Amino acid sequence: MPARRADDTSYALLVNGSATGNGVVIRGGEYMIYFDGILNGATISLQTLSPSGQWMTVEAFTGSAISYSNTPRSQTGIDLPAGQARCALNGGSPSGINAYLVGLG
């Protein structure tokens, strides 16, 4: 089995947010995501910036998007490359949203 990149840093993607966050530079590796707050009909998803400059929703190995319509939620085993990550909020009227990406290094 090849060695996996380790990152033991915690990244705040949204803190008390109500709209899509800015990109945050991450080191890459295996992560856990935590979401909490009031979505009020919104959907929150984890996104990364592609090499072509397009924000794309991250999918788990099962092919399902890391996207939720209720909180609190967490998911582990998310492999991400070095680059930028953010949380996108779509629809509804979200408030007090927190999202943290935590390296499992």
Decide if 95 contacts 38 (C-beta within 8 A). yes
Alpha-helical segments (H) within the chain: none
Q: What is the pTM assigned to this prediction?
A: 0.92
The predicted structure's pLDDT at residue 62: 76
Residue 103 to residue 11: CA distance in whole angstroms: 8
pLDDT category of residue 3 using cuts at 50, 70 and 90: low
Angle among Cα 21, 74, 67 to the nearest 5 degrees reads 55
The predicted structure's pLDDT at residue 61: 80
- Residue 105 reports pLDDT greater than 60: yes
**Mean confidence (pLDDT) of the chain:** 93
pLDDT, average across residues 73-92: 95
The predicted structure's pLDDT at residue 2: 61
